[in-house]
């Protein structure tokens, strides 16, 4: 069985690097997108096994991207973990309503993130 | 309140049908609208005199009418009595003329008897009857109208002739010349008597005719007088009624107008005016009301203006508040993104993701992590407070189980308490039913209180207790710590206040925990209080409803 693919949609290079470094010693294959629109395009093309989406992204928010992916039957089944900032209370509820499988508040512990990733897309 | 255009309305003196008006009212309104009485009412209203004077004049006028009526009645009565006196006199004259007729008949009779009896006594009787005739005729003549005088003169002349012939007859009789006396009587006496009889008959007829015509004219005059008096009485009554009508309506109409005006004012329609023609007390009254209306209108306008300004200000505040929340939202995100990188890389380093960490770096990295977490907590607290101040803090109300909340707090702080060698207990009764509230914020409150308690307690114990009191839950956190001085107790819930500035240095902490805790408790509709004694320890107690209302004050 080939390695699981994870799509990380995040506009901040440092935060992308954290996930990159976190997953470097695992078997996951990581692909990245820097904004919501290209994230959705990439997801439809690559059909990843799990998507990590920041809530606040340029061009298209993480919530809108989640909705778009859920609306497409080809990507509707992919688990999505939304990274919220708890800017206003209710972010978690909004994430759930948009169709997120799970949400993590920023700043998250990389350890917890890896646990969540393994839960939704167990390593091959 | 929706802005409402003020519609200035003039409350004029117009006959307006009052609700529930009866027939009398309808008639009055008809008269005011369709008869000259309406104009008269306006005229009376315009008369520049006080109501007192107007009423006085009206009553005087009515009294004068009564006087005139009385005078007229008296005059009629006196005329009637004069008529009856005239009738009486006419009666007497008719009687007298009949007596004259009678006396004439007696004279003729006695003359005839004298011729038969031939005695002096009978002749004397003729003369006596003659005297009576003359005196009665004189009576009639005394009060006779000029046209009758001629008739009476002729009667008297004929009577004188009769008397002469009677004297001659008497002389002839005394001389015993009966045949000559008889002849004289037949030739001159009888024709004379007949002439007088005719004349007296005319007199009687004249008197009777005069009496008859007098009777008729008196009856006519009396009828006329009755009609006149009746007409006068009727006119007087109508006049008095019209006067009362005019006076009363000249007073009622301004009262009605004032009533309409005041009703409009009571309904909040300011700025209307009242227009009455009156130049009496009502005129002054209307003027005062108009001035009041103007003042009210001005006040109302000012108030509306203030309302508009307030609304504009409110909208401005609303916009500012929205801007503040938007700022908070992006601020929160912008601060967390680098914090995520700092804490994330530190954790990756400490987890040796990048290889083994040299011994001298371990502690500095742990310090970076601790301070990073403290900074994060500070950011969270500041943002929470800002949200509460901006009125943007909303509770996420959920069903929760009290022992779970307390258990989470205990699990989070157990290691900290153990490190300090403190006894850390929770006491939650088994029978607390499922509760409704923001479990996350309640957990945060308990973490703040219990975290503080552990921080400020060098030795002894920290206890979290939960009690149920009816529909309230009482959470208490007590410790055997350093305690808070009495004069500092009021300050503990203020932002960035620790009981003593040196405490912050020694114990750390953001200084926002208690302030936030108080605000969260109050957002739940609860209260918080503290009891403490320096050196003995402190107890924080907060109460929140078992089930928070959905529309909790935010």
Kindly report, residue by residue over B139-176, the tens digit of the pLDDT.
888 877 787 888 888 888 888 888 888 788 888 888 88
Kindly report, residue by residue over A82-105, the tens digit of the pLDDT.
988 765 556 777 888 888 899 888
Output the DSSP codes for B250-292.
HHHHHHHHHHHHHHHHHTT--S-EEE----SHHHHHHHHHHHH
Q: Residue B508 above 60 pLDDT? A: no
- Give dist(CA B200, CA B137) in Å, integer: 10
- Give dist(CA B390, CA B135) in Å, integer: 138
The pLDDT score that the predictor gives to residue A34 is 92
**Contact predicate B465/B476, CB 8 Å:** yes
Min Cα distance B362 → chain A (Å) is: 18
- Give dist(CA B297, CA B284) in Å, integer: 20
Strands B398-400 and B423-427: unpaired
For residue A55, count CB atoms less than 10 angstroms from its CB and return exposed for 0-12, middle for 13-18, buried for 19 or more: buried
Torsion, CA B255, CA B259, CA B265, CA B270, rounded to 10: -50
Mean pLDDT over all residues of chain B?
83
Min Cα distance B420 → chain A (Å) is: 26
Print the SS3 string covering chain A: CCCCEEEEECCCHHHHHHHHHHHHCCCCEEEEECCHHHHHHHHHHHCCCEEEEECCCCCCCHHHHHHHHHHCCCCCCCCEEEEECCCCCCHHHHHHHHCCCEEEECCCCHHHHHHHHHHHCCCC
Cross-chain residue pair B348–A110, CB shorter than 8 Å: yes
Q: Considering CB atoms only, which of A12, A87, A93 is closest to B332?
A: A87
Cross-chain residue pair A89–B395, CB shorter than 8 Å: yes
Cross-chain residue pair A87–B337, CB shorter than 8 Å: no
Phi first, then psi: give them for residue B550, nearest 5 degrees. Answer: -55, -40
The pLDDT score that the predictor gives to residue B10 is 61
Q: Considering CB atoms only, which of A21, A25, A85 is closest to B332?
A: A85
Kindly report, residue by residue over B446-456, the tens digit of the pLDDT.
998 999 899 88
Cross-chain residue pair B341–A25, CB shorter than 8 Å: no
Cross-chain residue pair B347–A12, CB shorter than 8 Å: no
Q: Residue B200 above 50 pLDDT? A: yes
Tokens of B178: 């009966």
Task: Count how many pairs of residues, chain A against chain B, have C-beta atoms within 8 Å.
Answer: 75
Which residues in chain A have their CB less than 8 angstroms from residue B343's CB? 107, 109
A87 touches chain B (CB under 8 A): yes
Q: Residue B363 above 80 pLDDT? A: yes
Q: Give the side-chain half-sphere CA count within 13 A for A19.
A: 27
Cross-chain residue pair A85–B333, CB shorter than 8 Å: yes
End-to-end CA distance of chain A: 7
Strands A29-33 and A5-9: parallel
The pLDDT score that the predictor gives to residue B347 is 93
The pLDDT score that the predictor gives to residue B543 is 92
Q: Using CB atoms and an 8 Å cut-off, which of residues 44-63 of chain A contact chain B?
A: 55-56
Cross-chain residue pair A14–B330, CB shorter than 8 Å: no
Q: Considering CB atoms only, which of B332, B341, B387 is closest to A14?
A: B341
Cross-chain residue pair B393–A89, CB shorter than 8 Å: yes
The pLDDT score that the predictor gives to residue B161 is 84
The pLDDT score that the predictor gives to residue B505 is 47
A38 touches chain B (CB under 8 A): no
pLDDT level of residue B313 (50, 70, 90 thresholds)? very high
- Give dist(CA A43, CA A49) in Å, integer: 9
The pLDDT score that the predictor gives to residue B554 is 41
The pLDDT score that the predictor gives to residue B9 is 58
Percent of chain B with pLDDT over 90: 14
Kindly report, residue by residue over B407-434, the tens digit of the pLDDT.
989 988 888 889 889 999 999 998 888 8
Cross-chain residue pair A110–B347, CB shorter than 8 Å: yes
pLDDT per position in chain A (124 positions), as tens? 578 999 999 999 999 999 999 999 899 999 999 999 999 999 999 999 999 999 888 888 888 999 999 999 999 999 999 988 765 556 777 888 888 899 888 888 999 999 999 999 998 7
The pLDDT score that the predictor gives to residue B79 is 86
Cross-chain residue pair B339–A24, CB shorter than 8 Å: no
Chain-centroid distance of CA B552 in Å reads: 45
Q: Which residue is associated with the tokens 């956190």?
A: B477
pLDDT level of residue B497 (50, 70, 90 thresholds)? low
Min Cα distance B387 → chain A (Å) is: 8
**pTM across the whole model:** 0.51
Q: Considering CB atoms only, which of A15, A89, A90 is closest to B341?
A: A15
Cross-chain residue pair A25–B353, CB shorter than 8 Å: yes
Sheet order of strands, A102-105 included: A29-33, A5-9, A50-54, A80-84, A102-105
Query: B281-350 vs B190-266: helix axis angle to the nearest 10?
Result: 20
Q: How far is CA A115 from CA A81, A112, B148, in A?
A: 12, 5, 161
Q: Give the side-chain half-sphere CA count within 13 A for B491.
A: 12
- Give dist(CA B91, CA B93) in Å, integer: 5
Kindly report, residue by residue over B2-57, the tens digit of the pLDDT.
444 444 556 665 555 555 568 888 888 888 888 888 888 888 888 888 888 888 98
Min Cα distance A50 → chain B (Å) is: 20
SS3 category, B541: strand
The pLDDT score that the predictor gives to residue B11 is 63
Which residues in chain B have their CB less than 8 angstroms from residue A93's CB? 396
């Amino acid at each position: 069985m080939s390695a699981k693919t994870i799509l990380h949609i995040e506009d901040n290079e440092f935060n992308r690097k954290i996930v990159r470094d976190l997953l470097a010693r695992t078997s996951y294959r990581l692909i990245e997108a820097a904004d919501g629109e290209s994230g959705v395009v990439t997801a439809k093309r690559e059909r990843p096994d799990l998507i990590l989406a920041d809530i606040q992204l340029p061009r298209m928010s993480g919530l809108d991207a989640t909705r778009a992916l859920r609306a497409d039957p080809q990507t509707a089944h992919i688990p999505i973990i939304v990274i919220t900032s708890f800017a206003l209370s209710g972010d978690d509820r909004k994430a759930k309503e948009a169709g997120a499988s799970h949400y993590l508040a920023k700043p998250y512990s990389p350890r917890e993130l890896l646990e969540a990733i393994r839960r939704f897309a167990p390593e091959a | 309140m929706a802005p409402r255009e003020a519609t200035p309305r003039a409350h004029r003196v117009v006959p307006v049908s009052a609700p529930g008006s009866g027939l009398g009212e309808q008639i009055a309104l008809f008269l005011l609208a369709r008869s000259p009485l309406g104009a008269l009412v306006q005229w009376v209203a315009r008369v520049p005199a006080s109501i007192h004077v107007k009423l006085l004049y009206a009553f005087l006028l009515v009294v004068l009418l009564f006087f005139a009526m009385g005078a007229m009645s008296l005059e009629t009565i006196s005329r009637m009595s004069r008529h009856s006196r005239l009738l009486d006199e006419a009666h007497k004259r008719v009687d007298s003329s009949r007596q004259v007729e009678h006396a004439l008949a007696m004279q003729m009779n006695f003359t005839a008897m004298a011729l038969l009896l031939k005695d002096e006594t009978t002749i004397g009787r003729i003369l006596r009857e003659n005297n009576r005739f003359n005196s009665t005729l004189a009576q009639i003549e005394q009060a006779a109208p000029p046209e009758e005088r001629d008739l009476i003169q002729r009667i008297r002349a004929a009577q004188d002739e009769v008397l002469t012939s009677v004297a001659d007859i008497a002389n002839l009789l005394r001389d015993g010349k009966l045949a000559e006396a008889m002849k004289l009587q037949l030739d001159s006496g009888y024709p004379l008597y007949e002439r007088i009889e005719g004349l007296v008959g005319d007199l009687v007829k004249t008197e009777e005719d005069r009496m008859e015509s007098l009777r008729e004219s008196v009856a006519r005059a009396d009828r006329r007088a009755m009609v006149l008096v009746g007409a006068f009485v009727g006119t007087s009554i109508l006049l008095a009624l019209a006067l009362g009508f005019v006076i009363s309506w000249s007073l009622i109409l301004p009262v009605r107008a004032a009533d309409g005006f005041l009703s409009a004012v009571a309904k909040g329609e300011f700025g209307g005016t009242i227009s009455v023609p009156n130049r009496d007390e009502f005129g002054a009254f209307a003027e005062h009301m108009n001035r009041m209306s103007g003042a009210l209108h001005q006040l109302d306008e000012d108030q509306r203006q203030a309302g508009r300004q307030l609304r504009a200000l409110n909208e401005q505040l609303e916009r500012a508040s929205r801007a503040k929340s938007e700022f908070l939202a992006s601020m929160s995100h912008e601060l967390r993104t680098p914090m995520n990188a700092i804490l994330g890389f530190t954790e990756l380093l400490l987890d040796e993701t990048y290889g083994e960490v040299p011994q001298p770096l371990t502690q500095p990295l742990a310090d970076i992590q601790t301070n990073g977490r403290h900074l994060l907590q500070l950011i969270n607290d500041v943002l929470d407070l800002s949200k509460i101040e901006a009125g943007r803090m909303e509770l996420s109300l959920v069903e929760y189980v009290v022992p779970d909340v307390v258990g989470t707090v205990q699990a989070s702080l157990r290691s900290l308490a153990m490190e300090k060698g403190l006894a850390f207990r929770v006491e939650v009764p088994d029978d607390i039913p499922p509760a409704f509230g923001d479990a996350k914020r309640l957990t945060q409150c308990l973490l703040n209180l219990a975290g503080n308690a552990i921080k400020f307690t060098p030795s002894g114990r920290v206890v979290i207790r939960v009690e149920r009191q009816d529909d309230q839950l009482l959470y208490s956190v007590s410790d055997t710590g350093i305690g808070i001085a009495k004069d500092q107790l009021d300050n503990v819930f203020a932002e960035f206040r620790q009981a003593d500035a040196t405490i912050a240095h020694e114990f750390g902490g953001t200084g926002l925990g208690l302030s936030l805790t108080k605000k969260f408790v109050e957002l739940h509709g609860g209260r918080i209080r503290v009891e403490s004694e320096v050196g003995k320890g402190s107890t924080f107690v907060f109460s929140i409803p078992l089930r928070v209302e959905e529309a909790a004050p935010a």
